[in-house]
Amino acid sequence: MQRKNINNISRRSFIKSVLITTAGVGGLFNFVKPDVLGRDGAVPPSEKIIMGGLGIGPRGMSDLQIFLHEPDVRFIAVADAQASRRNAVKSMVDNHYGDNKCEVYSDFRKLLERKDIDALLIATGDRWHALASILAAKAGKDMYCEKPCSMTIAESIELRDTIRRYARVYQAGTQRRSVGNFVFAVELARKGKLGKLVAVHANTLHPATSHDWLPEEPLPPKEEVDWDEWLGPNPWRPFNKRYVQGGWRGYFDFHGGGILEWGSHTVDLCQWANNADDTAPIEYEPNPDGVVAKYANGVKLVMRSKGWLGLGTCSVRFEGENGWVETGDGGEVKLEPESLRGGRKILTESVGRPMSHIRNFLDCVKSRGQPAANADVSCQSHIACHAAYIAWQLNRKLLFDPVKVEFIGDEEANRMKSRAYREPYRA
pLDDT given for residue 11 in this prediction: 55
Q: Of 25, 333, 357, 315, which is closest to residue 171 (Cα–Cα)?
A: 357
Q: What's the distance, Cα to Cα, between the start and end of the chain in Å? A: 25
Taking only the tens place, the pLDDT of each residue in 93-152 is 999 999 999 999 999 999 999 999 999 999 999 999 999 999 999 999 999 999 999 999
Q: Is the dihedral of CA 123, 128, 133, 136 positive or negative?
A: negative
User: What is 176-208+255-351+375-415's CATH number, 3.40.50.720, 3.40.140.10, 3.30.360.10, 3.40.50.12370?
Assistant: 3.30.360.10
Dihedral Cα 372, 128, 153, 357, nearest 10 deg: 10
Provide the CATH number for the domain formed by 6-174 in this structure.
3.40.50.720
> What is the spatial distance between Cα 220 and Cα 226, in angstroms, rounded to a whole number?
8
pLDDT of residue 33: 58
How many C-beta atoms lie closer than 10 Å to residue 362's C-beta? 22
What 3-state class would DSSP assign to 189?
Answer: helix
Q: In Å, what is the CA distance from 88 to each residue of 57, 62, 66, 85, 248?
A: 9, 13, 16, 5, 21
Amino acid letter at 145? C
In 3D space, the residue among 160, 156, 146 whose CA is nearest the CA of residue 386 turns out to be: 156
Q: Per residue in 378-417, pLDDT tens?
A: 999 999 999 999 999 999 999 999 999 999 999 999 999 9
Query: What pLDDT is recorded for position 286?
Result: 98
Domain ranges of the chain: 6-174, 176-208+255-351+375-415, 213-246
Single out the residue of 354, 360, 361, 375 nearest to residue 63, CA to CA: 354
Nearest to 67 by CA among 53, 55, 57: 53
Low-confidence ranges of the chain (pLDDT < 70): 1-41, 347
